[in-house]
Structure 1
Amino acid sequence: MGLNAALAVHPASGHGAAGRIADTVADRLRPAVDRLDVLVATNVDESRTLMRSAHAEGLDVLIVLGGDGAAHQGVQFCAEHEVALGLVPSGTGNDFARALGTPPDALTAADTLAEALRAGTRRRLDLGRVERGAAAGAWFATVLCSGFDAAVNARANNLRWPAGPRRYDVAILAELAAFRPRPVSLHTDAGTLELDATLVAVGNTPYYGGGVPICPQAIPDDGLFDVTVIGAAGRLQLLRLLPGLRTGAHLEHPAVHTLRTRKLSIETGATSGWPAYADGESQGTTPISATCVPGALTVVAP
């Protein structure tokens, strides 16, 4: 029985980079499989429809050419349908691909993935599952965050100017002026932790925000989340702490707390909830819960 694969292309990823290299990526992958269908979608609904059609024809591997948003959609589909996932990163963040050790250059990544397809290389990874009450929500592969960093993400998404990474610089400055720590209750496997906090990051893998190792010790196949909590940090403390996020040095700051748990619930009291994002996608506001589900995703990766 042959290997049936599909290449899901999100043409706008990486400011149009995915669309420009899609044919070349397909050419590099095609010799490694028996069948390769190219699925080009411009929105989530269209992408899901194409994936379901491919699955109905016996899909074995879904390969996503795009950024973290595209990877997030691929994770939802593959986890629900027991289809293996491959990544060819072509976005601006590529945090899940980075955690898998995928080469950052898309064409090199395509060649590496083709080798893994020929060799039949597979890995089982954990995923996080967002929960609200008794209802299971989205899967996430990287980080669920709430608080300052999620507020920055939300504000940046609403800015029309400037374009690119500068939006986040503007959003950070705006949130520094407006954001205040608040009392937070964290319900973990070991009990409840109550403190004033600035942000909570729940890591299945280390990275978010385009390579920030917010949970640098997170391992995606150990059955546990690594959680990073920044306590009641003022504006000046945050300004001093933020550069350390790029290197993992923030873990040494006295305002930073870490823990490991399989389940976590975040509650922020009776006032309006904090925004929450997982894999860079909005998950509403707190209260919010997440569970680490061992072996929920199969990936094709070295």
Structure 2
Amino acid sequence: MTAHDQLAGAVPDGGLLDGPVAVLANPTAGRGRRRLLLPAVLERLGAAGRDVWLLAADTPDEARAACRDAVRDGAAALVTIGGDGTSHLAMQAVGGSRVAFGPVPAGTGNDFAVEAGYPDDPLAAADVIAAALAAGRTHTLDLARLTGADGEQHWYGTVLAAGFDAIVNERANRMNWPRGPRRYDLAILVELARLRPRRYTLRLDGEEEHRFDAVLVAVGNCASYGGGMRICPMADPADGKLDVVVAGAVSRSTLVRIKPQVYRGTHVTHPQVRTYRAHTVELHAEEIVGYADGERLARLPVTVTAVPGALRLLR
């Protein structure tokens, strides 16, 4: 069974199936924290009475394939040690399946794990996951399913960025210098200088259509992205809905002033910010590539659907 085959829909909540636990650890997560965490996490999972498989992967493509193969080979659960990007890779294998999932937050951005109810301390989260394994306990949570114009589908857990934030990511990914976070900071400065509203078409649940100029559009399954920015502050990953936040044709100075408010979620009170809620969101704009869970997914137009109970969490 491939990750694409598993994009069929949700599964009911229930007890954990018998079988081993596969572990995917990102070696670069949290600037190397994985190397210190891995032995302790493996010890906790082993104490839960399950066989533990440590997956070998050095690249995102290898990690995606390793997760898919583990599911095919009978893993009952998949645990990640890393950030949102690592969780995203695992979701492509377990989304819409009966395989349980547990994220140990050890990355630069851990929005999904925190929004899903795990402690932000990685070892405390590992204890929660191990206890759920020992008890055979899972809880379901929604995922967002994104379909591109070519029909390719992706699961995501946090927020689809489809405006200025996505453009910054595209810029940063094309840059070879500087290294580390400074590359992203420089990309922000470059794209702020080039800031202009884009023309969007937004269709909600196949009926309600909106056309507008905007500099930022976000489609959230969860409230936050980017390491705690509550861009969709009212989003609930258990309500079967997606939250859409639109910042209209604001100026550079206004965008800069609004940004600190995003961490508190109070930006939605700004008169040029609009919010919507729907089960299915169709979004179109020229020259925009959408990012979710920090990963590059697809060029717009895209269709995003909330899939209730698509993920079985070890919690």
TM-score exceeds 0.5: yes
Matched, 1:24 2:65: no
**Segment of structure 1 superposing worse, 217-226 or 30-39:** 30-39
Q: Indicate if the aligned counterparts of 1:197 and 1:230 stay in contact, CA closer than 8 A.
A: yes
Task: For 1:46-61, list aligned pairs within 5 A.
Answer: 46-61=62-77
Unaligned runs of 5+ in 1: none
Aligned residue in 1 for 2:167: 151
Distance change (3 Å), C-alpha of 1:162 and 1:133: closer
Matched, 1:210 2:227: yes
Aligned residue in 1 for 2:104: 88
Q: CA deviation at 1:3?
A: 4.5
TM-score in terms of structure 2 length:
0.89
Aligned residue in 2 for 1:197: 214
Q: What is the distance in 2 between the residues matched to 1:115 and 1:167?
A: 40
Tell me the amino acid that sits aligned with residue 298 of structure 2.
Answer: G
Tell me the amino acid that sits aligned with residue 48 of structure 2.
Answer: A
Q: What is the distance in 2 between the residues matched to 1:208 and 1:186?
A: 21
Root mean square deviation of aligned Cα? 1.8
1:172 to 166, 184, 188: 188
Aligned residue in 1 for 2:289: 275
Matched, 1:98 2:114: yes
Distance change (3 Å), C-alpha of 1:136 and 1:161: closer
Counterpart of 2:58 in 1: which secondary structure? Answer: coil
| Runs of 4+ deviating beyond 6 Å | none
Q: What is the distance in 2 between the residues matched to 1:265 and 1:210?
A: 26
Q: CA deviation at 1:135?
A: 1.8
Distance change (3 Å), C-alpha of 1:226 and 1:160: same
**Segment of structure 1 superposing worse, 80-89 or 40-49:** 40-49
Q: What is the distance in 2 between the residues matched to 1:57 and 1:225?
A: 33
Q: CA deviation at 1:14?
A: 1.7
Aligned residue in 1 for 2:20: 4
Q: What is the distance in 1 between the residues matched to 2:54 and 2:252?
A: 48
**Larger relative strand fraction:** 1
Q: CA deviation at 1:101?
A: 2.2
TM-score in terms of structure 1 length:
0.92
Per-residue CA deviations over 1:181-230 (Å, capped at 9, x if unaligned) read 02211011251011111111000001111111100111111111011010
Q: What is the distance in 2 between the residues matched to 1:56 and 1:287?
A: 32
Aligned residue in 1 for 2:8: none
Q: What is the distance in 1 between the residues matched to 2:303 and 2:68?
A: 28
Q: Indicate if the aligned counterparts of 1:213 and 1:248 stay in contact, CA closer than 8 A.
A: yes
Q: Indicate if the aligned counterparts of 1:273 and 1:287 stay in contact, CA closer than 8 A.
A: no
Per-residue CA deviations over 1:95-127 (Å, capped at 9, x if unaligned) read 111111222222222122212222333111111
